[in-house]
Chain A
Amino acid sequence: MKHRFTVEYEIDCPVAIAVAVYLDAEHYVFLHKKYSDTYEVLSYEPETCKIFIRESWELFGLRIGQTCMTEYVPPAEFLNYDIEPYPRWLPSVHHVMKTRTRVVYTEIPERNSTWSRLEIDLDMPFWLWPLRRWIERAITRLKVEKDEQDIDMIRRRAALFGRENNSIYLADHQFILHKDHYLKHFGANSKPLTQPA
């Protein structure tokens, strides 16, 4: 049985900043260490912008987590799917429920801001159906909490360096995921996302 829901709100920064923060993988296990303290790359397909990852954390001396395929669809779309528990024998809802997420950032031209839309598709067995709202609330809370941490970072950087300043993400020495695509769409010679009418 399929349950679909969305989580939407405005993030007060240009799309170029919101995308950069998403692609700035170096902050994942530090700023968001409350949720997972280990990030491992299991495979990487640069041609298709797909990275198969494992995120894990320690619980009662045992390292547990999940594996997931992540995909970047330039300029501002991010997919997560094929989520499996780690280790595989770990009792987990992911054994019986397929989860697919899609994050899309859209420009709000009048405020040079970002509309963030997360679409979640859950494919679950009938006996989980009564719990779908509880699962929805848990996923929503996780998304909002992690975004709040990112937004705090964005606000502080905006106050220090300027609201539209993405120069650190463009710098030669700074690593971000799929940087070649980011430079193409948000670098010095990129075109505006929204063309003037």
Chain B
Amino acid sequence: MLDAAARATSSQTTGGRPGPPDAFYPRPIDLSGLRPGAVNVRDLGEGVQVIVVPGGEQLHVFREICPHMGGPLGEATVCKDATLECPWHGYRFSLETGRLVDNPNARIMAELRRRAPDCFKPDKAPGYALTPMTYQVVGDRAYVRRRRSDA
């Protein structure tokens, strides 16, 4: 069973593949093969890869690409504070919302950033966020819904 939070982005049914067929990526996620609390990379077909982080009884499903520089989130680290750390630059994203919650370099590079010339304007930073993917569970499989922008 999925908990209430999971039901916010998914629904659980029994039977075969959910419809309409073109609303979902062709390859479902096999729930029994997921490592809990870890990053699982899954290929949905059509060149789309996602990461799946089972948390409690819900799944956090995001595109495998870091919104900052395109880093491989399949190699990301799940941190104790329910964030995901990108392996390239250490940016941390909330597993719950997908939003950037910390750029540790702001502290590591504080002295350099403070004395940077006019060409560095941190206040103009975009609101980086992981791309969330919604899904529908059928039996022991999760079917990931296509995003409108991917159609």
| Residues in A lying within 8 Å of B, measured CB to CB | 25-27, 29-31, 39-41, 44, 46, 51, 153, 156-157, 160-161, 168, 171-175, 177, 179-180, 183
A-B contact count (CB 8 A): 74
| Residues in B lying within 8 Å of A, measured CB to CB | 65, 68-72, 85-90, 103, 105, 108-109, 111-113, 115-117, 119-126
Main secondary structure on chain B at its contact with chain A?
A: loop
Bound state CA distance, A161 and B72, in angstroms? 14
Check A175–B90 contact: CB distance below 8 A.
no
Q: Which of A29, A44, A172, A183 contacts B90 (CB 8 A)?
A: A29
Check B119–A41 contact: CB distance below 8 A.
no
Check A172–B115 contact: CB distance below 8 A.
no
Residues of B within 8 A of A174 (CB): 120
Check A30–B117 contact: CB distance below 8 A.
no
Residues of B within 8 A of A157 (CB): 69-70
Residues of B within 8 A of A179 (CB): 116-117, 119-120
Closest to B103 in A: A26
Bound state CA distance, A96 and B116, in angstroms? 36
Check B88–A27 contact: CB distance below 8 A.
yes
Residues of B within 8 A of A156 (CB): 70-72
Residues of A within 8 A of B123 (CB): 173
Residues of B within 8 A of A160 (CB): 65, 70
Some 28 contacts from A to B, beta carbons below 8 A apart, are A26-B90, A26-B103, A26-B108, A26-B109, A27-B88, A29-B90, A29-B108, A30-B85, A30-B90, A39-B108, A40-B108, A41-B111, A41-B112, A46-B117, A153-B69, A156-B70, A156-B71, A157-B69, A157-B70, A161-B70, A168-B69, A172-B119, A172-B120, A173-B121, A175-B116, A175-B120, A179-B117, A180-B119
